Structure 1
Amino acid sequence: MMNSVIMGRKFVRSSLVLMLAAALAACNGAAPAGDAQPPLAGARIGGPFTLTDQNGRTVSDTDFAGQYRIVYFGYSFCPDICPVDLQKLMRGLAAFEKASPKLGAKVQPLFITVDPARDTPEALKPFVSRYHPRLLGLTGTPEQIAKVAKGYAVVYNKVEGSAPDRYLMAHTQIAFLMDPDGKPMAMLPLDDPSTDIDEGAPDKVAAELAKWVK
């Protein structure tokens, strides 16, 4: 089972690299010179969505207009990788908030499930509360999730388990930083999925936020 999940993750990560390359290649016009240009500027990543948060409220992409966004796809029943990634991301955000409170307040973290069948608002609420007080957990119908995942070049698939409700989800392991207009800026650093959280991982996330959030 674990080998299947690892192979699935390698596949979706490779697929994402190819899709991002295609998205960037499809952009029109030359990128402005200088270090200030975000690495994902012009990529066709993101787009409109309407989902439901952990409190049962309808949430749309337009609700975050004017805010930077950390967008991570995963699922609450994930046994190891999603929790580790979220610890890195949210500890990094907390460190950035501590160093720059006004800028940190401009960043909205979003966790979008790839397992809407099990990740109801009731299931997401205790899960996201472990990582950051402002982390929103978003779910929806299978069709809504498929649409938003496609917009973010995220792929996922079900890995059958020993019982109908004991399955895993192989999915793209990536975190996007989006600008206040909902356009992609950068991918936040996530280490190899086989490693546990380390002291330096949140610092890398905080440094990347400090680089782009203004």
Structure 2
Amino acid sequence: MAARTMNSIHRRIATALAAVLLVAGCSPAPRPPLDGARIGGPFALTGTDGKTVRDTDFAGKYRLVYFGYTYCPDVCPTDMQRTARVMKALEKADPATADKIVPIFVTVDPDRDTPAAVKQFVSAFGNRFVGLTGNPEAIAQAAKAYAISYTKQPPGPGGGYLVDHVAVVYLMGPKGEPISFYSRDMTDEAMLADLRQWVK
């Protein structure tokens, strides 16, 4: 009788465990924050060597895409520095994953940001960074595709001006699909953890 009781208990435990495992196995995988968002698209811009660079040139690579401008006094350098630190940390911890990512800087100030100016700017953050400029129409088209708004402010007394713009880093997938994003208040550690979660 005791043996039959123990066998019954074991069966109930086994059934319960099987149910738990079945539920766990059927649970949907976590979805990327930007899954299904209409962000990204084709572009034809100008690289730091003056040659045309297209979105298809990055096929098969994850991309960290940031829109800014080289004359930016604070926001852009700060955001670029964070991306550079995170990439450096990723190179140290997981070089194979780091090699799958291309950080891309796209200017929203094509009137001043020549290929040479963009080259000088991105080189300050490491040799992984790709810098892109272009004519105003091409820049506007790319910014619109990435949901980036920007506004050129009136010139000051010396002729200089600021450009207000959305400051966000997008993580795009190997097919150009949107995966995640990093706002200005995100820490290096959080950005690094997110990259390691989604870059496969």
Highest Rg: 1 or 2? 2
Aligned residue runs from structure 1 range 147-158, under 5 A: 147-158=141-152
Q: 1:122 to 1:210 in 2, by over 3 A?
A: same
| Total equivalences in the alignment | 175
Q: 1:178 to 1:126 in 2, by over 3 A?
A: same
Question: Matched residue of 1:111: which SS?
Answer: strand
> Quick one: distance in 2 between partners of 1:141 and 1:164?
24
* AA at the equivalent of 1:204: A
* 1:61 is the counterpart of 2:55: yes
> Quick one: distance in 1 between partners of 2:171 and 2:63?
6
> Quick one: distance in 2 between partners of 1:163 and 1:143?
27
Q: Give the superposition deviation at 1:131.
A: 0.7
Aligned 8 A contact 1:54 1:138 in 2: yes
* AA at the equivalent of 1:93: M
Q: Give the superposition deviation at 1:203.
A: 2.2
Aligned identity (percent) is 50
* 1:145 is the counterpart of 2:139: yes
> Quick one: distance in 2 between partners of 1:158 and 1:189?
21
The aligned residue for residue 181 of structure 1 is 175
Q: 1:139 to 1:165 in 2, by over 3 A?
A: farther
Q: Which runs of 5+ in 1 are unaligned?
A: 1-31, 193-200
Q: Give the superposition deviation at 1:132.
A: 1.8
The counterpart of 1:127, out of the listed 121, 128, 135, is 121
TM-score by length of 2: 0.83
Q: 1:95 to 1:189 in 2, by over 3 A?
A: farther
* 1:205 is the counterpart of 2:199: no
Aligned 8 A contact 1:92 1:204 in 2: no
Aligned residue runs from structure 1 range 4-153, under 5 A: 34-153=28-147
> Quick one: distance in 2 between partners of 1:190 and 1:204?
12
In the TM superposition, structure 1's runs of 4+ consecutive aligned residues that sit over 4 Å from their partners are none
